[in-house]
């Protein structure tokens, strides 16, 4: 199981990267960190700088064909930067075109809104995104995790760091299929 983790160069909520990453490893999978540039990405614990992580591939180097699924960690700045990068948006959208599963937590659905792939989907997120998701054509629900199979692929969304255990327990089996 090869899993892409798409992040911007900074602003990633660290725990929303590290816990799903570890869940992929624990399931025998291989996670890869994909970003907009090479080097190291800066994670945060809310608003405080945390650790940095090495980028495995840039969005220009990576191909959707290499991966079984995509994880989009949150943090406010991370998906906000990704949605302004056309190559990152196209990479995320490519998983939908290929019918591959995507998992997004917290503010990460902003990238999916920009990719225009949420219309007709039922999703959850950090509560402040509910209006954005509804305006983009999604149905927003306040649940720990939501699995939506209404489309070419499975979309798994979750609200916040407190939901990470259920998020990981849900997306890993979907990515194995």
So what's the pLDDT on residue 151?
84
Q: Exposed/middle/buried for 135, CB within 10 Å: 0-12, 13-18, 19+? A: exposed
The count of domains in the chain is 1
pLDDT tens-digit map of 2-33: 999 999 999 999 999 999 999 999 999 999 99
Active site residue 168: no
So what's the pLDDT on residue 177?
84
Domain that holds residue 98: 2-176
Please tell me the distance from the alpha carbon of residue 10 to that of residue 15, in angstroms, as a whole number: 14
Query: Which one is catalytic: 33, 62, 89, 106?
Result: 106
CATH code, domain carrying 52: 3.40.50.880
So what's the pLDDT on residue 32?
98
So what's the pLDDT on residue 152?
87
Query: Which one is catalytic: 93, 107, 121, 146?
Result: 107
So what's the pLDDT on residue 116?
98
Active site residue 106: yes
So what's the pLDDT on residue 86?
98
Residues of the chain with pLDDT under 70: none
């Amino acid at each position: 199981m090869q899993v892409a983790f798409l992040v911007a160069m900074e602003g990633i909520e660290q725990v929303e990267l590290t816990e799903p990453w570890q869940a992929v490893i624990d399931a025998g999978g291989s996670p890869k960190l994909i970003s907009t540039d090479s080097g190291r990405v800066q994670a945060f614990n809310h608003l405080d700088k945390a650790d940095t992580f090495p980028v495995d591939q840039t969005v220009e180097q990576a191909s959707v064909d290499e991966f079984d699924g995509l994880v989009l960690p949150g943090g406010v700045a991370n998906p906000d930067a990704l949605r302004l990068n056309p190559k990152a948006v196209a990479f995320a959208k490519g998983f939908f075109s290929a019918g591959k599963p995507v998992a997004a937590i917290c503010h990460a659905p902003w990238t999916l809104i920009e990719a225009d792939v949420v219309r007709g989907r039922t999703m959850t997120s950090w509560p402040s995104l509910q209006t954005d998701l509804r305006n983009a054509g999604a149905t927003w629900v306040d649940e720990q995790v939501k699995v939506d199979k209404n489309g070419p692929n499975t979309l798994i969304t979750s609200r916040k760091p407190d939901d990470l255990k259920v998020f990981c327990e849900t997306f890993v089996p979907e990515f194995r299929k």
